[in-house]
Every structure is written in structure tokens, then in C-alpha cells.
Amino acid sequence: MGDPLFKRVVVKLSGEALMGPLTHGLHTPTLHRFAHDLKAAAALGVQVAVVIGGGNFFRGLEGAEKGIERARADSIGMLATVMNALAMEGALEEIGQPARVLSAVAMPSQCQPYSRQAALAHLVKHRVILLAGGTGNPFFTTDTGAALRAAELSCDAVMKATNVDGVYTDDPKKNPDARRYERLTHDEAIQRNLQVMDTSAFALTRDNRIPIVVFSLHEPGAIEAALLGRGRATYVMP
């Protein structure tokens, strides 16, 4: 099978990915498929942290556009990420993969408050940790939350699961001539204005020399394949 490219990673999943074919909420078969993918990644010996967005329930920016104060809208979005993390924790435990939710928004009756020490302790015991609540602050995306956690937990990479199988020269859904990059440096991605992650998240990964792996979440086993350097993905390397 080969050795994985990275030993400790943050996997970034969008909340919308958990909708599957639905228009909102959680699609149980999709949730379970992602749980199996995460378990397979952990079975490689990789220490796995997961940051899940909340867009399948509520997006802070969209709430603000509808008239909710932005800081309050972002707080609602943080709670949505906790719901998704709790659902994923349950799906993982159902298939025998130990998992823990740690939330930057303290709610000790539901899950463990996030701390770096607690997160590291779970990782070395090969529990999949689900990092909820974003950064705990408004005005920051879950992309930024993933980059921040990757930096403070000394992760080897951010694995960004998206709707496309990598970074392209243009939107492949609109431009059939768009070309996929196999490898890029952070500086090349900046110079070519490629939308790998949002600006603050990208700056964190670049400054801390953390690779970003962009891959499609639609194929079963995609996380494992990307970790092994197989399948279709773009590797943004320092």
C-alpha cells in the first residue's frame, strides 16, 4: 500500500458536503461514507483532525446579508458546526473508530472544550478529533479555523475536500479548457490568483510552511488516496 505522505493532518470538510442530494441538513448515507473514509485514513497510522463547516444548516455571511448582525450570524454558524461535528462523531463511533468533538465555543454538556493539550492527547491515542466552533470568533471562516488548528497542532498538511479534484487554471464547470495543477508552491498560487483557500487561511499555511492538498470528496476512499499520493489532487507545497 505504501506509506502515507503525512503523519498528522487536518481534513477540512464543508458543511454543504454533508447534505448529499438534499437541499439542507444531513444526508445520513453521505455522513456514513465520510466516516468510513476518515476511519480508513486513521487506519494508515495518520493522526486525523477534522474541521467541518456549518453551511448545511446556517452560513454566517448569508445570515448577515439577510439582516442579521454579522457577529451574531457568525455565532449561529459556529453552533451549526458543532451539530455537524457531533453527528460525525456518532457516525465514526458506530463503525468502531474512536472520536472526540472539541469545540472552541464552550458547551461542556455536549462536548469537550477545545484546548491544544487536549487535542494533542487525543491525536496520539489515534482518536479522530472533530474541531468544532471555528476559531471561536466571528469574522473568521472555517478555512481559517482549519489553517489555525493545523499550525498550532503541528500538522503536516491541510487536506481540503472540495467539489472538484484539485486546483484549476479556471472554473472547470464553466470552462472546459481549464487545466488542473498537479503541484504548486504557495507563491505560485498567490501569483496566479488561484482560490485555494480564503486569504487569511492561505496566509497562515504559507507562513507556517504547511502543505495544502486539494481533492474531490465525491469518490469513496479519496482521503486515503490523497494521503498515499494517489488519485487526482493538487498538492500546494512550500
Average pLDDT value for residue range 208-223: 92
Closest CA to 189 of 174, 201, 177, 175: 201
Domains and their CATH numbers in the chain: 8-237 (3.40.1160.10)
Element (H, E) at 78: helix 70-94
pLDDT digits (tens, 9 = 90+) for 49-95: 999 999 999 988 888 888 999 999 999 999 999 999 999 999 999 99
Q: What is the pLDDT of residue 58?
A: 93
- Listing from the earlier edge strand, what are the strands of the sheet with 99-103? 112-113, 99-103, 128-132, 47-52, 8-13, 157-162, 212-216, 233-237, 183-185
Q: Do the Cβ atoms of 128 and 98 come closer than 8 Å? A: yes
Say what the pLDDT of residue 145 is. 96
CB contact set of 48 (below 8 Å; sequence gap of 6+):
8, 9, 11, 38, 41, 42, 123, 128, 129
Looking at residues 147-165, what average pLDDT do you find? Answer: 95
The pLDDT value recorded for residue 61 is 82
Which is more confidently placed, 188 or 127? 127
- CB contact at 8 A, 97 and 89: no
Q: How far apart are CA 181 and CA 176, in angstroms?
A: 15
Confidence of residue 164 (pLDDT cuts 50, 70, 90): confident
